[in-house]
């Protein structure tokens, strides 16, 4: 069953997520959640600006009022929305399996699934990547992801 998730308000977040296809829309997020769920993003926040591989770019904040940013390249806006929903809830919104999708829209939703699979593999969201391959719900991993991130040596470095 779907859960209502309240993403942080724009002023309360410390990172913005967007896509190169729709750069005018910023999705507010918390580095803590992203870093806890993805060891690749955790490393990125500690090591500083560099490419997020072929999925996009990381643009650090340069002033205290500016937000850091992750821009996913060449993906539909629904892809990072589904990704963030999973990161915050441990639940995959599998819109490609909804019965009301007409055949003409099916290719669009399969492309989103493919984009999500690619991104989750590249940022080491292994539970999500495996679930997308098997067409099932991912196993819950949030209860282990956060303690692992918080006990790691890099937590204080990216949380400053």
How far apart, in whole angstroms, are the C-alpha atoms of residue 4 and residue 72?
24
CATH numbers and ranges of domains, the chain? 15-154 (3.30.710.10)
The pTM assigned to this predicted structure is: 0.78
**pLDDT value, residue 25:** 93
**pLDDT value, residue 71:** 92
In terms of Cα–Cα distance, which of 37, 90, 39, 35 is closest to 68?
35
Query: Beta strands 15-19 and 68-72: pairing type?
Result: parallel
How far apart, in whole angstroms, are the C-alpha atoms of residue 104 and residue 29?
32
Query: Beta strands 15-19 and 22-29: pairing type?
Result: antiparallel
Q: For 86-108, give the DSSP string.
A: HHHHS----GGG-TT--HHHHHH
Residue 89 vs residues 4, 5, 16, 35, 97: alpha-carbon distances, Å: 9, 8, 18, 15, 19
Give, for all 160 residues of the chain, the pLDDT tens digit: 455 666 556 667 889 999 998 989 999 999 989 999 998 888 888 876 655 666 788 888 888 888 889 999 989 999 999 999 999 988 888 776 665 656 656 777 788 888 999 999 999 998 888 888 876 666 677 777 777 777 765 655 655 5
């Amino acid at each position: 069953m779907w859960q209502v998730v309240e993403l942080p308000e724009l002023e309360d977040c410390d990172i913005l997520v967007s896509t190169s296809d729709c750069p005018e829309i910023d999705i507010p997020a918390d580095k803590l959640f992203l870093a806890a769920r993805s060891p690749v993003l955790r490393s990125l926040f500690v090591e500083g600006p560099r490419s997020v591989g072929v999925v996009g770019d990381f643009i650090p904040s340069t002033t205290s009022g500016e937000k850091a940013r992750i821009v996913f390249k060449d993906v539909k806006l629904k892809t990072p929305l589904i990704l963030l929903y999973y990161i915050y809830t441990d639940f995959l919104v599998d819109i490609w399996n909804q019965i009301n999708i007409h055949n003409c829209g099916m290719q669009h939703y399969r492309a989103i699934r493919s984009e999500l699979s690619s991104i989750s593999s590249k940022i080491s969201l292994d539970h999500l990547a495996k679930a997308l391959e098997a067409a099932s719900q991912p196993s819950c991993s949030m209860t282990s992801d956060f303690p692992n991130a918080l006990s790691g040596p890099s937590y204080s470095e990216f949380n400053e």
